[in-house]
Amino acid sequence: MHFSSLLLAAISVLPVFGQLSGKVGPLTTHAAKSAKKTCNVLSYGAKADKSTDLGPALLSAFTACKSGGTVVVPAGDFAIKTWVTFEGGKAWALQLDGTIYRTTGTGGGNMLFVRNANDFEMFSSTGKGAIQGNGYDDHKSGKRDGARLLRVEQTTNFSVHDIILVDAPMFHVVISTSTNGEVYNMAIRGGDEGGLDGIDVWGTNIWVHDVMVTNKDECVTVKSPSKNILVENIYCNSSGGCAIGSLGADTAISSVVYKNIYTWKSNQMMMIKSNGGSGYVEDVVFENFIGHGNAYSLDVDQYWSSMTAVAGNGVQLSNITFNNWKGTLANGAQRGPVKVACADKAPCTDITITDLAMWTETGSKQTYSCRSGYGSGFCLKKGTGASYVAVTSTQTAAPTGYSAVSMKDDLKTAFGTASSIPIPTMPASFYPNTPPVSKLAGQ
């Protein structure tokens, strides 16, 4: 049996694990951690006055609980102007039930940086814990290289869940070179411009699910190197859309599944983006995608003009399946529902597009375009072979079965960059007619 068939069969049998290679999440519960020791930041000098710097108290509480215990930021409004690096903790948790506000005028880096941890959990017990980055204070003057709200690096057996992240000066969440992780039940809301990524992840055996992202850059994006990544129940609600990339030299990405992805008024539903480079992306499935009002839909672009070309013949894309895509797109004549532009010196192989039915919201025609891509579906050429120039076809009748449901929380207007973005409540669902895998905190 072909690998992609085996992969789809495995997903249907094991929907929880999908393309994961084993257990994800912390080794012990936060209840067990709290029973061992609890370090409330109020006991270390913090004040819920939206003025006193939380940073020193947060670091002191971590130092006291880093060998086993729970650091608690209780309900209330806290200010932070000193960034905190949580280095080397084991069997500890960070319970964020209050709201942390970035003090305007502070610098770059990582506001909260979890590094070299094992058996770690960050969560809100109420589902109302939040970080307000006040990024608009930077963005209104053109500054976009400020702080990331949360970074988890070289960490294993961890989870981040049931928290809300708003208006990062730069990125919202970065999961870097980590293993056996789970990120879920989150609402991320950023400004309407590039460089304000929702979730960027690279590592091994990581599950990202039940997340809503509003911004104008990455929704949930897998970067290199990565293996055994499962991304599901994602709500890109006026966003840049999901992606794999940007891909450069020595790319190494394999065994990735994106499933149950809903995308509203975004740059794309899914993009694989590169320009030159080397290495591979292989054994990937994108299934159950619903889109409305997006610029691009299925977009493989190995000549991505927003990226400076990298030396190399191009990243080799192989054994990639797109299955069950439905909905509408903004303007199918300008940007059709299928664009596969593969590297001429490294043509794509074994690309499969099945059960894709989408139709334009503007006009009465749409185009499909393929370049140097081999496989089955639409304008792809069968078999394998040399490069070929772009082949374009035009469709003038709506395909059967393109209609798809919308989500009630779809934003009518994106948030700008010149004023504060309000802290949202957690949506009840992140994909149509699909409850969250894990119950939302506080409900």
Catalytic residues: 217, 292
Q: What's the 3-state SS for the chain?
A: CCHHHHHHHHHHHCCCCCCCCCCCCCCCCHHHHHHHCEEEHHHHCCCCCCCCECHHHHHHHHHHHCCCEEEEECCCEEEECCCEEEECCEEEEEEECCEEEECCCCCCEEEEEEECCEEEEEECCCCCCEEECCCHHHHCCCCCCCEEEEEEECCEEEEEECCEEECCCCCCEEEEEEEEEEEEEEEEECCCCCCCCCEEEEEEEEEEEEEEEECCCCCEEECCCEEEEEEEEEEEECCCCEEEEEECCCEEEEEEEEEEEEEECCCCCEEEEEEECCEEEEEEEEEEEEEEEECCCEEEECECCCCCCECCCCCEEEEEEEEEEEEEECCCCCCCCEEEECCCCCCEEEEEEEEEEEEECCCCCEEEEEECEEEECCCCECCCCCCCCCEEEEECCCCCCCCCCCCCCCCCCCCCCCCCCCCCCCCCCCECCECCCCCCCCC
**Both tokens assigned to 362:** 């503007």
